[in-house]
Amino acid sequence: MRQQPKHISKFFSVRNHSIGKERRLNLTKQTLDKTIHFPKSVSYEDIDNCVFEWLDKELYFEYDGVKYPTYKLFSNQRVGQYSQTWEKYDEKGNLEVNFKTLTREPNPQKGDNQGNNMNIPGYRDYPVFENIVTDENGESHKEIYCMKQPSSIDLLYTISIITSSYRALNEFNELLQIQFNSIQKYIFPNGFTMPLTLESISDESETQLDDRKYYAQTFQIKCHAFIIREKDYTVKLVPMRRIVKILSGRNKDRKREPVINYIGKHSGYETKVNTLTTKDCIDNSALKVEKIEVPFDELYNPISGHSQPMEYEIEGLPICEENDIQNVNDYSDNMRMEFKFSIDPCNPIYEYTFSGGSENYLWMLEKIDTDNISNFTLELNGEELNYEEDSIEFNDGDVLVIHAIMQNPFRSGEVSIICIESD
């Protein structure tokens, strides 16, 4: 039997989602979405419409093929009195009892979304941002966009479901409980974030025999909101001051005395610039420039000025220090020698000529160690060496050139070449 893979759909997130402080900053940017300068104002009507949209769309409920519509009934009418004013009929001419309602108490209370903290007294203006503009006269002004602190309020909503099925009542209760499994459910009227909390759940079902039976359940929802009026936004126009310096008399020709003391190289010349000034005025100062020509070899041949390398024999053999190069034929067979080249960071090119004074002078490259060198290349008699793959030999009279790149340009580096005598 051929086995088929299981049909499992996994939705992978390909974007990074902001959390914490970054998420809160992004929420504040939503208030300026599709606006010119200021955020939109928030009124009771805006909050009511947002709560109704949440109830109608996110709490969409359908049972046994019947969709439960949502009605706005902003009054204190109890569920038991709805049957007297029902005007909705089904296809058979019976009154419809499967629907949801939304009501709100008409007396909003003082808000507690900031705990026990309240607004700062004085009804102050707080700047949001600034903008520099120029009027028709060419004068610059600064526009300061300000807003007042929002006023906190608490709105108490009542959500009711009226149904003829007890199972439908339980399913809607589960649906609403899931909405508040994190204590708070957030709505966004005009981009502002406002939390909803579930305060209480009560039952107002009618089960009398002489009347029509129906089940009704109410949920009290508190919205910890705030309101912002349009006149809370203001724009202040502040003139910008300009500082104009006016000098007259003797001070009008006075300038700041420059300080020039520079020594550099350019186009083969070493330039020394010295400034001779007096205490009275810059007009009495004189500029003296001396040009010293640099020899051609010192300017265009960077391979100069290095000290001789340090040569060490390895494994207890005699040591050959600087300016004391010995004939390698005097040593025993298979002798190993280490050549240490100190690289100057100002002139990271080193040239060395192998010289042993004998026709049998022959060294084979074994290992290369570096210190404070990020990268380097070797050239032997004008050809670049591939020291990682090829077998390299140094004979009498061979010229080795090291091109180095310093890891730390503020201190010298070192290249150690370890060779073994093949003869």
> Tell me: the pLDDT tens digits for 327-351?
444 444 567 888 888 888 888 888 8
Q: Of 110-119, 200-209, 246-255, which gets the smallest average pLDDT? A: 246-255
| Residue linked to tokens 């519509």 | 69
Encode pLDDT of 2-45 as tens digits.
Answer: 666 666 666 666 678 888 888 888 877 778 777 777 888 999 99
Cβ atoms of 201 and 217 closer than 8 Å: yes
Q: What are phi and psi of 250, to 5 degrees?
A: -70, -30
pLDDT at 108: 92
Neighbour count for residue 285 (Cβ, 10 Å)? 13
Beta-carbon-side half-sphere exposure of residue 95 (alpha carbons within 13 Å): 14
C-beta contacts of 379-387 below 8 A and 24+ residues apart: 379/403
- On whether the CB atoms of residues 96 and 86 are closer than 8 A, the answer is yes
* CB contact at 8 A, 179 and 58: yes
Share of the chain above pLDDT 90, in %: 21
In angstroms, what CA-CA distances link 404 with 28, 84, 152, 351, 407? Answer: 54, 97, 69, 11, 9
d(CA 195, CA 188): 9
99-135 pLDDT tens trace = 899 999 989 999 888 887 888 888 889 988 888 888 8
How far apart are alpha carbons 205 and 163 in whole angstroms?
Answer: 9
**pTM for the structure as a whole:** 0.51
Return the structure tokens found at 154.
């608490």
- Segment 402-410 mean pLDDT: 86
Q: Which of 77-91, 227-241, 317-331, 335-349 is the least confident region?
A: 317-331
